[in-house]
Amino acid sequence: MVLLSIWKNISAANISLILIIIYAITVFSTAIMVVREKRDPVKTTSWVLILILLPIAGLIFYIFFGQYHRKEKIFNRKGLRDLEQIENLSHLQILKLHKENFNRSSKIIDNLNIITLLLNNSKSLLTEFNEVEIFQDGDGAFNSIIDVLSSAKSTIHIEFYIVSDDKIGNKIKDILIEKAKLGIEVRLVFDDVGSWSLSKKYIRSMRDAGVFVHPFMEVKFPLLTSKVNYRNHRKIIIVDGKVGFVGGMNIADRYLEGSKELGPWRDTMIKLVGEAVHSLQAIFLVDWYFVSNQIISDRKKYFPEQNVSSHHPIQITACGPDSDWASIMQAFFLAITKARHHIYIASPYFVPNESILTALKTASLSGVDVRIMLPGKSDSTVVYWSSLSYVSELLDAGIKVYLYQNGFNHSKILMIDRSFASVGSANMDIRSFEDNFEIAAIIYDEQITDLLEKSFLNDLSRSKMIISDEWNLRSHKYNLKESVARLFSPLF
C-alpha cells in the first residue's frame, strides 16, 4: 500500500526522468561491456557509436547481433577422442616438417611458416596427395555434385549455410532420399538462419526416408537469443570419405540461373579427391557431434584409404567463434605479409579488420601488385556501401580495385605469387574472421594457383577498374552512404 501511494504521487514527468536515467545507465553499462570485451578496435568503436547514436535500436541490435561469446565456448568439444588424436598428429607433423633431413618439396618449403601456423592455431593437418578440380559456375559444380552423390556407396555428408526448397534443392533432396532408402548413411546439416525459408515439409520428407537432418544452432525465438549472430557459413560435401567439395556456393537456384536483380552468379567451388577429404570429414563429424550429440568413430568407414598420386599439398582449416585463434584470418595475414610479387583477391563482402587492411596497404607500398575485385552490384546494400568505403584508402596505397560487371561475383578466393591459394566460404570481412563458422582449403601448388589466377584475370576483363581521380570527384552523398554503412557493418 505504501509503495502504491508513493507511485501515485510521482508525476508523469518524474516517471519519464526515472526511465531515462535507467535507460541511460543500461546503455552506458552496455558500452562499457563492449569496450571490456577487447575485440577489434574498429568493431568496438562501431558498436559504441551505434549505442550512442541509436540508443534504443542500438541496444536491441547489440543484444541480438553484438554479444561476444568466443571465450565462453559455445561448443564443448573436449570429449571428442578424434580431436585429441588430431592434436597429437598435428604436433608430430610439425616436428617432422622441421627436421633437417626431411625430404620437403619446394611447395612446402616456400610456405612452411603458413603450414606451421595452421598446424598450431587450428590443428589443420597438411595433406600432400590430392586431385583438385575447379568449378567457376553453378552448372559445372552441381553437375559434378549430382554425379558424385548418385554414385555414393556408403556415406553422404552435406553441410551448407543455405539449402533452398527450389529446383536444385529438390533435385539433391530426391537423390538423398533415394540413397537413404538403399541403406546408405545420409547426413545433412543446414544453418537455421541461412536456411530460414526451408519448409518443414522438405525436412520431414527426408527424415521420413531415413536421412539424418539437423539444423545448426536452431533459433526458436530469434528475438530472445544472440545465436543469430553466430552462423555456420560452411559449404562442404563428403561422399564415401573419398570425394569432397568445398567453396562458396550454396544449394540454391540462383547459383545456376542467376537472379533478376543481379544477373548471373559467378562463384568458385573445388572438388577434392585424396587425403584432404579426410580433413573435410573430420570437420563435418565435429559439427555433427554438436548438432546431434553423436560421436561417430568408425575410421575404416569414414576415413578410408586414399590412393592418389597427384602431389597438390592442401590444408583444410576451419574456424569459428568457438576457436582459440582466428586461423583463417591469421593465415591470410601471414600470406599477405610474405608476398613478393602479387596478391589477387575476390570477395563479395569486403569489410577487413585493421590487421588485414594494414597488411594489404603495406604490401602494395612495398612494391607488390595488389588487385582486389569487388562486386559491381550486391545482394547486401549495407555491405556493398561499406565495402566501397575502403576504396579511397586502398587507391591511395596503390592498390588496384575493380568492380565486377558481368552479374554478381560471389567467389571468395585469395591467390598469392602463384604458390598460395585459398578457396572456401570465408569472405574478406570481420564477420567471417570473428563471428561465423567458416572453412577454407589452403592450396600450396603452382599449377592449381595458376588456374585460379588465370580465371581471376579473366574476370578482371569483365570488370571496371576504379580510377582514383574519377572516384574522388563523386558526389558527397556517396561518401555519406559509405560512412553510414561502414558504421553499421558489424550488424551485417
Contact 135, 147 (CB under 8 A): no
Catalytic residue among 179, 278, 412, 481: 412
Which grid coordinates belong to 421? 591459394
What pTM did the predictor assign?
A: 0.85
Active site residue 417: yes
Q: Which residue has the cell 577429404?
A: 277
Cα 438–chain centre separation: 4
Active site residue 235: yes
Catalytic residue among 240, 287, 322, 429: 240
Catalytic residue among 107, 157, 242, 410: 410
- The closest alpha carbon to 288, from 27, 75, 62, 45, belongs to 75
Strands 155-160 and 236-239: antiparallel
Contact 51, 30 (CB under 8 A): yes
pLDDT along the chain (492 residues), means of 10: 53 61 61 53 58 59 53 45 55 63 71 94 92 97 99 98 98 99 98 94 98 91 54 97 98 96 97 96 92 85 92 95 93 98 98 96 99 96 93 98 98 97 97 93 97 98 96 88 78 60
Active site residue 173: no
Q: What is the pLDDT of residue 219?
A: 81
Q: What is the pLDDT of residue 68?
A: 53
**3-class state of residue 1 by DSSP:** coil
Active site residue 157: no
Catalytic residue among 233, 242, 312, 481: 233
Q: What is the pLDDT of residue 94?
A: 67
Q: Which residue has the cell 555434385?
A: 145
CATH annotation of 131-310: 3.30.870.10
Q: What is the pLDDT of residue 14?
A: 64
Return the domain boundaries, the chain. 2-68, 131-310
Catalytic residue among 235, 271, 278, 481: 235
SS (H, E, C) 296-320: CCCHHHHCCCCCCCCEEEEEEEEEC
Residue 156, amino acid: I
Q: Tell me which DSSP letter residue 334 carries.
A: H
Q: Tell me which DSSP letter residue 189 carries.
A: E
CA atoms within 13 A on the CB side of 391: 27
Active site residue 240: yes
Element (H, E) at 213: strand 212-216
Contact 276, 130 (CB under 8 A): yes
Cβ neighbours, 10 Å, residue 478: 13
Active site residue 369: no
Q: What is the pLDDT of residue 97?
A: 65
